[in-house]
Structure 1
Amino acid sequence: MKTTLLAAGLATIAFPALAETPVLTVLTYDSFVSEWGPGPKVEAAFEATCACDLQFVGAGDGAALLARVQLEGAGSDADVVLGLDTSLTAAAAATGLFAPHGQAGATALPVAFDDPLFLPFDWGWFAFVYDKAKLPEPPKNFEALGASDLKIVIQDPRSSTPGLGLLLWVKAAYGDRAAEIWAGLADNIVTVTPGWSEAYGLFLEGEADMVLSYTTSPAYHLIAEGDAGKAAALFDEGHYLQVEVAGKLAATDQGALADQFMAFLTSEGFQSVIPETNWMYPAVTPAAGLPDGFDAFRPAKSLLMSPDAAMAARDAALAEWQAALAR
């Protein structure tokens, strides 16, 4: 009997060691979790501090994240959503599915930012990227682009945050003339892709002269490939700013872990990964600073609608875009 009791006691003592490792599920866009994106390095860095299993789930491009959250509601398996931007945060907040993040926020943004639900992790300016050898004199504004015979690839604003950012860029720059600008651009558009990766791939394959991307995209080619031949066209109207954010879902069953991850977003361990994997500006400048080439195409003027203004403008801007492409 003593032997039996001893075995039972040892089993009781050993049981806690057999407890399952807690899992934190982060819903994000596909390029974030690709082998060349930030995901793998972020996962390793966070798991070194959390005694947990961090699992990223890709869900298309940025705008598709909100659609999935709205569809799944409080029953979502995700704990954190990473990859919305300020064109979507008002609509995301209106779902009531997000909880306050409780963090101090970013320090390196070019605009003031204070949102209790959504925490910035990186930012950048949208721009049309081109090959300098093939296009020595790029257009200097949307009107010149529309008047040219250049072929461009853009992303769908219904599924992609760059695509939606382009609509808001045109709207912010031209206001009531936005429909006229889109009418001029319609013939230049080779195709509209669901997300950024597909569009950029078509550009690299020579299917278009220019692609909607970011002012920092040429830095990737310079640093990762030793190719100084790509550039971002700087437009007179200014460039629309994208601020990417993360939010904690209120229904998470891993509240403490989600809070720990939100705090990790602005730490050196996360922010130092961003420049040379996501090829965006970090929300907090890393100790090593920014890589060479990041400021090679810095716009003179930034354009950005408030989240509420962006949500209010979205439907009309989308209708103008659809009408122009349907002609």
Structure 2
Amino acid sequence: MKHLVFTAGCLTAATSAMAQDSDQTPELTVYTYDSFVAEWGPGPQIEQAFEATCTCDLNLVGVEDGAALLARVRLEGENTDADIVLGLDTNLVAAAKETGLFAQHGMTPDLDLPITWDDPVFLPYDWGYFAFVHDKDMDAPSNFKALADSDTSIVIQDPRSSTPGLGLLMWVKTAYGDDAPAIWEGLSDNIVTVTKGWTEAYGLFLEGEADMVLSYTTSPAYHLIAEEDATKTAAAFDEGHYMQVEVAGKLASTDQPELADQFLAFMLTQDFQSVIPTTNWMYPAVELDDGLPDGFETLVQPEKSLLLSAEEAAAKRDAALDEWLNALSR
């Protein structure tokens, strides 16, 4: 009888200890965009891999598209639940820093990017080129002027909520400068609709609602690798293609600073980066041990790469947005 009582006591104590440990399991909250946390996105695999190393709960919170992330964190301020924001890009970095909400990462990363990266606050996790994706059997325009002069229908994303949408503004502005308003005026009747985010836009394209959709040169790799469908490609534009570098940053207000640093370091490991090409369908920010997946060698390679610095993008953003709004309101 004493043995049974002792065993029950031990079980009770053990259960209590387990409950206490569970209560103390640290949680790291990462704000990111919806497609990242989707079942088919990188989020589920990355969550499992990181939790296996951190003894923590990784809470991935989807917040529409990339540009909406900054708006939400700015609204929440120091009271935000986020420890990490993952999904901004170089067009938003300067505005993000101006909030004063982000802390320096203190890392010297070994990156594999087409550009030099020395930002002390934000770390890249992938990159790619914006492009218009279409069916291969289509005679696609080869530049913005040809697109504007054609009957080709397109779906794009809103630059106020979407990083691809903002990237398109910077693409046109960088390629055409003061002539950008004329380009937008010409494109206005090609635009079927403007969606809040990438997922909605790409879905409309796949449903046949438009001839082309604003996406990435890497998007056809999804169809080729995941669906064994070689019918999609990206239009190569004479003006060149605007580059996107996606980044993550740590909130200064985080109550899990060491765990946040651990996640940022993990972000640049093979366990994270090897997931990116076939879930986020972008180029990884570090060189992969096994190289890029088969199929990536078939993708369009821009002959000219366009990219504004974070400061230049911030300086031109409002004017570019006004030009876009004016053209579409006519």
Does residue 1:307 correspond to 2:307, yes or no?
A: no
Give TM-score scaled by structure 2 length: 0.94
Flag the 1:254–1:183 CA change in 2: closer, same or farther, 3 A: same
Q: Partners in 2 of 1:261 and 1:46 — Cα distance?
A: 7
Task: State the alpha-carbon separation in 2 of the partners of residues 294 and 74 from structure 1.
Answer: 41
Equivalent position to 1:236, from 223, 238, 241: 238
Spell out, residue by residue over 1:101-147, the C-alpha distance to the aligned partner (whole angstroms, 9 max, x if none): 122235211111110000000000000000012x1x21110000000
Residue correspondence of structure 1 range 132-147 to structure 2 within 5 A: 132-133=136-137, 135=138, 137-147=139-149
Deviation at 1:323, TM superposition (A): 0.6
Structure 2 partner of 1:163 = 165
Quick one: distance in 2 between partners of 1:209 and 1:175? 27
What does 1:138-287 correspond to in 2, within 5 Å?
138-287=140-289
Aligned pair count reads 320
Quote the Cα distance in structure 2 between the aligned partners of 1:175 and 1:294. 32
Code of the aligned partner of 2:257: G
Judged with a 3 Å threshold, the aligned counterparts in structure 2 of structure 1 residues 287 and 315 are, in CA distance, closer, same or farther, namely same
Q: Tell me the distance in 1 between the aligned counterparts of 2:180 and 2:188.
A: 12
SS at match of 1:218: helix
Which residue pairs with 2:45 in the alignment? 41
**1:275 CA drift (Å):** 0.3
Q: Secondary structure at the match of 1:257?
A: helix
- The match for 1:82 is 86
Matching of residue 125 in structure 1 with residue 125 in structure 2: no
Aligned partner of 2:103 in structure 1 is 99
Please list every run of at least 4 consecutive aligned residues from structure 1 whose deviation after the TM superposition is greater than 6 angstroms: none
| Structure 2 portions without partners, runs of 5+ | none
Gaps of 5+ in 1: none
Residues 1:321 and 2:324 are matched in the alignment: yes
For 2:27 and 2:38, locate their aligned partners in 1 and report how far apart those are by CA, in whole Å. Answer: 20
Match of 1:54 among 54, 58, 62: 58
Instruction: Output the amino acid matched with 1:122.
Output: D
Separation in 1, partners of 2:296, 2:265: 26
Helix, strand or coil for the counterpart of 2:188?
Answer: helix
* Mapped partners of 1:99, 1:167: distance in 2: 28
Give, as a single letter, the amino acid of the residue that structure 2 aligns with 1:169: W
Q: What amino acid maps onto 1:258 in structure 2?
A: A
SS of the aligned residue for 1:277 comes to coil
Q: Does the CA-based 8 Å contact 1:165-1:240 persist in structure 2?
A: yes
How far is the alpha carbon of 1:311 from its aligned partner? 0.6
* Whole-Å separation in 2 of the counterparts to 1:254 and 1:310: 32
TM-score, structure 1 as length reference? 0.95
Tell me what 2:120 maps to. Answer: 116
Q: Equivalent residue of 1:285, what SS?
A: coil
Matches within 5 A, 1:21-32: 21-32=25-36
Of 294, 297, 304, 2:296 maps to 294
User: Which digits, 9 at most, give the CA deviation of each residue in 1:270-292, with x for residues without a partner?
Assistant: 00000000000000122111112
Distance 1:33 1:12, change over 3 A: closer
Residue identity in the other structure for 1:316: A
Q: Distance in 1 between matches of 2:238 and 2:120?
A: 34
User: How big is the shift at 1:233?
Assistant: 0.3
Q: Secondary structure of the residue that 1:129 maps to in structure 2?
A: strand
Counterpart of 2:114 in 1: which secondary structure?
Answer: coil
Mapped contact 1:24–1:79 kept (Cα < 8 A): yes
RMSD: 1.8
